[in-house]
Structure 1
Amino acid sequence: MTQQLLQLSQDGQTISLIAKPFKESPDHVISRSDIAGELVEIDAINFYLFENAIDSALGIINSRQKDSDVEVKVQQFVIAERRDSSLLIKTEPDLMKTSITVIGAYGGAPVTGNALIDALKENHIVKGIRKTQLQELLGRSKLLAPGEKLTMPVAFGRFPVHGTDTTFEPLVDDSSQRILRPQSTDDGKVDMLDLGDLITVKAGQAIMKLVPATTGCNGFNVLGKEIAAIPGNELVFDCGDGTAISEDDVNILVATKSGVPLRKPCGMQVDDALTLKGVNVTTGHIDFDGSILITGDVTPGMKVSATGNIIVSGFVELGELKAGGDIAVAKGIIGRQQEGKHLACYLQAAGKVTSKFAQFVEIDAGQDVSFSIHALHCLIRTKGELSVIDQIKRHGTLSGGYVEAGSRVKALNIGALAGVPTEIIAFTQHSALREQLNTAYQAVEREKTQMHKIKEAQLKLLKIPSTKRPPELVEKVKASIQLHRQRMSELNSAFQNLKQDYEEQLAQASIVAVGRLFSGVSCQIEKEKLNILQEHGPSVVVYKDRALQRLSYNA
């Protein structure tokens, strides 16, 4: 190249290329590399290049001038310019995060700290700005190549921390936990037979503590708008029989008499306790208004009924127990194999059922059912969950029989090597929840129909000349529309809440085998079924992608 092609503007911001065709075939074709070389010479290699302008200029320069006496006009193309570093601001739709993208300078000035701050102000980002993030972005942006992009989040909103509801903490042990947690001996070993003393309380003893609801902590978005926290629900003690609020502390519930504590959702009650050494042909059947403590066994054929808890420190064999509270059997529950759906040994509790083991037993429970050793060939129906595993995860076999659980089922081992048929249905309350969902949906649809009729009436009214419209009718239609809009909002909200609750409960429903899951086990969650055809290690069966799936389980 015999002459300089590029020209830097006086202000140093642009580069021009002088283009004129050769009169004769050129000895050297001008290429991009020649232009790049000159850009280096004038310290403009990092300028932003206009590619189309370069192509046009090179096309003219490398063309041969036609024979003519007319002088070809020289053309000047702006092929490059200096550009400062630029910024892009992006805020998430929920206004909880803002990011800045820095684009590397083309020979121009890098971004400055003031430019970052000004860009945030222009976009009304005033809250949750992280100075350390801005400093890091500023430092790293100086190392960017021309046109290179660097994006970093620099401002964060804070979600509100919603308040917690009032909770009630029992200050006395639970009979079921006492059975599942054997006593330690002096040498540190565990005595599986020693279950400690039967649980009773004395008059004046503190039995429950109320932990007040909290208001929560408000949040904010990056625009500085406050997001209100939802305060927890305030609840009060439900003072059952034999209890009262302490005179010294309104958050403490005390017993007013001696007896057996029975936990309620928002309080406790203390039942009179009938203590028996055993239930047999000598005592006859027992029906008591209160709680029953049986320090021995319930022998075959005997029936025990109580409005409170039934606690048995021995065995229940071929008996019938019905409790308005919990049933806790320390050593075990033994039935007998027989034909037909109902088994000879039957337990019914409004609360929990807890024991070491059960075999050939029929159980109906309003809350959780728990065994620490095994449950074999039982018929179990619970509105809560079924757990067949001890606290150290050494024992716990669920094999044979039929199980219906309101939420989940968990055991160390489910099934047996011999492929014993074991049928398990979890999340049994899906039918009732679906019925509630359907009722809520139908209510929404009915309200939509009503809204449609009112809007039709409004359209007919609008067709009447304004001077002839009855004012009282106009106001009545307006009020009706407002009322139904509010009603529609309430119904939609109720439907969405039910739907969310259903989906959350379905997601939590599971059948868990911490150790082994054997063939012969039939699993069902909602309406979907899965038959286990071979032995597996630790497994969990869950509802996923509209089907039951067996996945590996990691405790």
Structure 2
Amino acid sequence: MQNGYFQLVNAPGGYGLQIFQPKDGGADVNLQEVLNYLERESVPYDPMAIKKAILSGEDTVCFLERKDCPALEETYSIEVSQDNMQVILRFYPASQSGKRTTMDSVIRDLRYRNIVYGIQMNVLQDHFMSDGIYGTDLIVAKGKEPRHGTDASVRYYFNTDVHAQPTLKDDGTVDYFHLNMINPCRKGQLLAEIIPEDEGEYGITVQGAKIRPRQVKKAHLEFGHNIEISEDRKKLTSLVDGHVSLVEGKVFVSDVYEVENVDLSTGNIEFEGSVQVRGNVSSNFEIRAGGNVIISGVVEGACIEAGGNIIIARGMNGMAKGILKAGGNIVAKFLENATVSAGGYVNTESILHSNVTASTEIQVTGKRGFITGGHVRAGQRIEVKTLGATLGAPTVVEVGVDPEKKAEYMKLQKEISEIVKNIRSIQPILASFTEKKNRGVRFTPDQLNYIRNSAATMETQKKSLAEKNARMQELQMEFNPQEKAAVIVKGEVYPGTTIIIGDSSMQVKNTYQYCRFERIDGDVKATAI
């Protein structure tokens, strides 16, 4: 492929402009480029005649002047890119009686313009060792792009996925005994290490200036008890046999406290690590653990709190007084007459007459898969097989708003109401004092002290009111239900069920099957799965 170009040549009776047409798909001769060249060299021309010669499609000579052909040396233009990473030369041939420039003079010119890096000698040689490469942009210098590095990272040698779900067996039941939600570790086991940052490499412009690569971030390891960090502070190793977990970027290793049952033989249990109960937890007892609580049997009307997950293989009958509260997820075969709160998700086969709250989602799966009675809330999604019951107690399910934030909002409403009540009770006292003071009434020291205290209380209450109102406004802005918030029913929904999504609600009056409830145009509506 060869681009078209032009040259001043001798012609009968004078001289003219030779147009060399492109070959093998090369670019056409550019008319404006020709005219600019002739202007620079003070050569007279007829633009229409030149245009006609270019458009003829044939190599041809356009007559210019009845004089000897001027002896013009080979010239070139130099263009430096805006980012100073590339230099383009475009050569114009010498006239037929002119001389070619030299490679040394071009290199001197480049250096005079402070172009000192990345000169492409092979490109220049190709031009000067041939008849010349004209009408073509030649990249004669290239800068070096910086090589951007990568941030440091932490590699964990245990499962950090806190969203692992129980396995649904072939018979439709859920395997609560093999959940794989806990990461056992051994003494001396490598838990995590820092993969160092790569600083990258500097780039260089054609003028030789350095280009800094983007700044990379370093990493550091955060950890709790029972963990040793290496001297270079890049590796974490367990000091004990236990369970390892990652909580908000911090590695924890918890020893596990094991008991057969929680009853009169053990009393209440309070433990910094994880607790494993091989049997049952009797009514009225408490387990409070900093890690996970794993129970192989049944939980009666007990109170269980865990910083991590709560797993109950055979479920819970709360007897209207049982409480489960987990910083992580809660998995139980069934939940009945209980108050349940999870910082993550809740997974169970049935929920009966219970108050259940999950920050993310609630899945009620398995053969039964029903929610009947009570109030069930999830920040994102509730998935259930059967919702409500033919003659059952009223059932309320709610999604789309973080339950904790909604509870905070309700609490603030009560507190603001109380503050307003207090302010209204103090206002008449201060107004009366001002009115009497203006009339010249004298007050005893005790009365003045009482007024000062009342005024101070008023200011404190007003400040508190402003703060709580501001927080309420913040929460209101967060109460727009998430786009994916939904209640998914894979069986039936019975009349008497209330479905709330954000600030919209729907009272179910007819039976629905296999449907998805979403908030559409401000209303709760049922769509097909």
TM-score (norm 2): 0.48
